[in-house]
Amino acid sequence: MTSSLTVHDLSVRFHLPGATVHAVSEASFEVRQGECLALVGESGCGKSVMAHALMGLLPGNATVSGSAWLRTEGAQPLDLIAAPEKVLARTVRGRRIGLVPQSPASHLTPVRTARAQLTEALRELGSQASADELAGRAGLDPAQLDRYPHQLSGGMAQRVVNAIALAGDPWLIVADEPTSGLDRPLVEATMAELRRLADDGRAVLLITHDLRAAEQVADHIAVMYASRVVSHAPAAEFFAGPRHPYAAGLLEALPSRSFVPISGRPPELTDLPSGCAFRPRCDRSTAACSDLPKAGPVACHHPLEHHVAR
């Protein structure tokens, strides 16, 4: 049996005074060992909240519904949404799911060496591996572990946080915007690291706004818009011709394509339009779009015709 994470109908709401934020609505997807799934979307579409929901790291004013079954080889399946905090802390975080955080430089403690921080993670997780071994696994020269974070380049800092994420030998890696603020060569290096983790038999859930980074590493692309997963496709198919109008618009906005922004602006998550949330910005919308499209590979009433692969 391969290990997998199956998210089904996951919804997250935040209750604010006078408003409810629809951060994630009925999201479903699956990620298996050896695969990388990229969850892409504009900033503020709810994709980071998804990562936090899976790790049990949401603030107290959040309500979560749906299920996220973590099926680990040789262990009972566990619903991450229903599991108590104690179980998540003792058996899941760091051990089955490793988090690669946004901005490695600010994630590391500036006054301690990389080795001290890595050793701490190993000790806390009761791992038998040595810091040097782990550094090697993350593509770091063990000598670099004795540096302080400010002495590390961006790429090295990235590998240090990767090594920490791998300390408890988790099979699922959740990478939340691991490249924001990095320059292109570093983005490419980071993506190559994630690909290597997937090729080593781990599962990678990459959360990013960067389509080009996703193209480099992902096997599947899920596109989120206004809290919903609106498109889900194998990467090659997606980049050859996305069928959801929003996904197509996002891809066309790249400088390497037509560089035209999608008209209008994304809706507020506190005030989502009824029916298809993309309807006000979509040039294909008709009366039918006031009904919510069925969730699936393409959540749209008028998907684009499939283009021929380039």
Partner 1 sequence: MLRADGITVAYGRQRVLRGADLEVVPGVVTGLAGPSGCGKSTLARVLALMLRPDAGSLSMDGTEIHRWRHRAARDLRTRVALIFQQPRLAVDPRLTLREIAEEPFHATGRPVEDLTDDVGLTPELLTRRPHEVSDGQLQRACVARALALKPRYVICDEMTTMLDASTQAHLVARLETYRKETGAGILAITHDEELLTRWTEPSGGPTVRMS
Give the interface with partner 1 as residue ranges (CB under 8 A). Answer: 40-44, 153-154, 180-186, 209-211, 249-251, 253-256, 259-262, 265, 268, 271
Q: Give the strand pairing for 4-16 and 19-32.
A: antiparallel
Smallest gap from residue 210 Cβ to partner 1 (A): 8
Buried b (16+ CB within 10 A) or exposed e, 119-153: bebbeebebebebeebbebbbbeeebbebebeebe
Most distant pair of Cα atoms in the chain: their distance: 64
- Whose Cβ is closer to partner 1: residue 15's or residue 90's? 15
d(CA 200, CA 42): 30
- Whose Cβ is closer to partner 1: residue 154's or residue 168's? 154
Smallest gap from residue 92 Cβ to partner 1 (A): 28
- Whose Cβ is closer to partner 1: residue 46's or residue 94's? 46
Smallest gap from residue 252 Cβ to partner 1 (A): 8
Smallest gap from residue 262 Cβ to partner 1 (A): 5
- Whose Cβ is closer to partner 1: residue 39's or residue 131's? 39
- Whose Cβ is closer to partner 1: residue 23's or residue 118's? 23
Question: Helix (H, G, I), strand (E, B), or coil: what is residue 211?
Answer: helix
- Whose Cβ is closer to partner 1: residue 2's or residue 61's? 61
Smallest gap from residue 105 Cβ to partner 1 (A): 12
Smallest gap from residue 238 Cβ to partner 1 (A): 14
Buried b (16+ CB within 10 A) or exposed e, 168-187: bbbbbbbbbbbbeebeeebb
Query: Of 166, 171, 8, nearest to 74 (Cα)?
Result: 171
Q: How many CA atoms within 13 Å lie on the side-chain side of 181?
A: 13
Angle at 97 between CA 91 and CA 103, to 5 degrees: 130
Smallest gap from residue 22 Cβ to partner 1 (A): 15
d(CA 174, CA 131): 21
- Whose Cβ is closer to partner 1: residue 103's or residue 117's? 103
In DSSP notation, 102-156 reads S-HHHHS-TTS-HHHHHHHHHHHTT----HHHHHHHTT--GGGGGS-GGGS-HHH
In DSSP notation, 168-188 reads T--SEEEEESTTTT--HHHHH
